[in-house]
Amino acid sequence: MDVIEGNTIARTVHKLTDVVVVGTGPAGAAAARTIAKAGLGVILVDEGPYVEPSQFPKDGFSAMAQMYRDMGASLSRGAPMMPLVQGRVVGGTSVVNGAISWRLPRDVHDEWVQADPALADALPWETLDSLFDQIETDLDIRPTEADIAGANNLLLKKGADALGIENRPISRNVRGCRGLGRCLQGCPEGRKNSMDRTYLPDACRDGAELYSEVRIDRVVVENGRAIGVCGRAAGGGKVNIAAGKAVVLAASAIQTPALLQRSRIRGGPVGEGFQCHPGASVSGRFADSVRLWTGATQGHEAIGLRKQGIKFEALGYDMSLVATRLKSVGSQLSRDIEDMMHHAHWGAAIRARARGRVRASRTGTSVKFSLTPEDMRLVRRGVSVLGQMLLAAGADYVEPGVHGWKARVTDRADMERFDAEGPLDPRAYMMAVTHMFGTCAMGSDPAKSVVRHDFRHQHTRNLYIADSSVFPSNTGVNPQTSIIALATMCGQRIVEAAMR
């Protein structure tokens, strides 16, 4: 795949194409692939670098510095303050996620249709279901095999079985995975079917051009019509791309509304309605070695409480990131580092009902988001069940990581009691956000939505949005497959409009 690297662009570049796509993650890649296959000219632009698998850093901190936005340290401001984890690399977050692949649950789709009945025709379930089938074939999505799962994942199965919670191996978009445990740093062998290995090369084979390390600052609008984008390359040169048919924004539920705001395109509640899946985690110490940095990074999940708003996953991390949880110093720190191989680490992803907002300013982009009391009860229950599962799986003790509660718990009854007595103050918990939605929502009412049912902006012609910012709500599950499906539909709508 040929990539025009922005660090080589020192002078102004002017380009003309049919469609320009901002963002190369699952949304941008899927939309571009669909449009290029139809024979239209496509240029893709990404702020991040293109990195070959052989160049992916081995340690987590180096990977975060090179391929994550703000080194994974962007923060939502509210109660609690939480890191917002996003990839900043060609291929987007698909390069550095755990490869978890979920179809949009039918019950979530039903919720969307109930709230806006026109979505039944705009996003028909039968069409989505067919797209999911095709995506699973394209990306070789299948359950994690036991022989590469690793102890961290297999112990989660043991704990969930003991508590009678429905669980299963996670379906992942990988081919020939060898369980190296390096998904979050990028698979060094290219065995993850991320967008840089699949849909982007497909689009380029059909004629698409791809620019890396180019930050788009503004969508250009004339007479109510989007006609292109302009930005600056890492090498210092300006990049101006004129698009005769469509401008497609696929930069994420944070960066897309920020770009609209910087461009002074404010029709509808741009940046409002931010939703996400906050995640809390618990560690457990086992007598036998776990080595959670080996095996499938995220290979098993417990889904029995999903409809209540909680989904449990095994979490695999690079050793350097695991060590950040240690509080000791000196010789005790050395002993604790040696003991890390005995710890399992599992998380609870929460389908939070809270809604926040995204704002762009001269100093950057900010996210304001605070969990509701109802959300915090789910967080508390999630931590309670995680601790119970770890102890049921045979952990010597668990570390809930919650201020105001026991640092180490050995009795399952204490973790059961936590569900009713644990703190509800969000500041007592350490949480992070990995999935974001809703800041340019699709809908029937122009006053309450940003895009129409065909992904077109409500007020600006030829402007489309393809990423999870158009989702009416969060989904309670990992959204990558759903994003690809909806972005493919967006691409199809653009082709249909262009051919008329």
Q: Would residue 12 count as lying in a domain?
A: yes
pLDDT of residue 267: 87
Is the domain of 425 the same as that of 286?
yes
pLDDT of residue 437: 98
Q: Would residue 57 count as lying in a domain?
A: no
Is the domain of 113 the same as that of 156?
no
Which residues have a Cβ under 8 Å from the Cβ of 205 and sit 6 or more positions away?
none
Tokens standing for residue 283: 């560690």
412-460 tens-digit pLDDT? 999 999 999 999 999 999 999 989 999 999 999 999 999 999 999 999 9
Is the domain of 417 the same as that of 449?
no
Number of domains the chain is built from: 2
Is the domain of 152 the same as that of 282?
yes
Domain boundary among the residues 438, 465, 488 is at 438
269-295 tens-digit pLDDT? 999 999 999 999 999 999 999 999 999
Tokens standing for residue 400: 């809930």
Is the domain of 387 the same as that of 301?
yes
CB 200 within 8 A of CB 1: yes
The continuous run of DSSP H or E covering 37 comes out as helix 26-37
Comparing C-alpha atoms, which of 377, 468, 366, 454 is closest to residue 421?
377
Q: Where are the beta strands (DSSP E) in 113-271?
A: 141-143, 167-169, 171-173, 209-212, 214-222, 225-233, 238-249
> 0.95 exceeded by the pTM?
yes
What is the per-residue DSSP string for 115-174? H-TTHHHHS-HHHHHHHHHHHHHHTTEEEPPGGGT-HHHHHHHHHHHHHT--EEEPEEEB
Comparing C-alpha atoms, which of 347, 352, 276, 351 is closest to residue 313?
347
Is the domain of 349 the same as that of 233?
no
Half-sphere exposure of 23 (CA within 13 A, CB side): 32
CB 275 within 8 A of CB 354: yes
Q: Would residue 381 count as lying in a domain?
A: yes
pLDDT of residue 324: 64
Is the domain of 23 the same as that of 132?
yes
CB 90 within 8 A of CB 45: no
Domain boundary among the residues 421, 438, 455 is at 438
CB 22 within 8 A of CB 259: yes
As averages over each run of 10 residues, the pLDDT of the chain (500 residues) reads: 96 98 98 98 98 93 93 91 96 97 98 97 98 98 97 98 98 96 95 98 98 98 97 98 98 98 94 98 96 95 98 89 68 78 96 98 91 98 98 97 95 98 96 96 96 97 98 98 98 95
Is the domain of 156 the same as that of 216?
no
Q: Would residue 154 count as lying in a domain?
A: yes
Neighbours of 65 (CB within 10 A): 13
User: Residue 456 is part of which domain span?
Assistant: 1-50+89-99+102-138+194-269+439-500
Is the domain of 300 the same as that of 318?
yes
**Alpha carbons 280 and 76: distance in angstroms, whole number:** 15
Is the domain of 367 the same as that of 254?
no
Helix, strand, coil percentages, rounded to 5, for the chain: 35, 25, 40
Say which CATH number the domain at 256 has: 3.50.50.60
Q: Would residue 61 count as lying in a domain?
A: no
Is the domain of 178 the same as that of 238?
no
The continuous run of DSSP H or E covering 234 comes out as none
Is the domain of 295 the same as that of 404?
yes
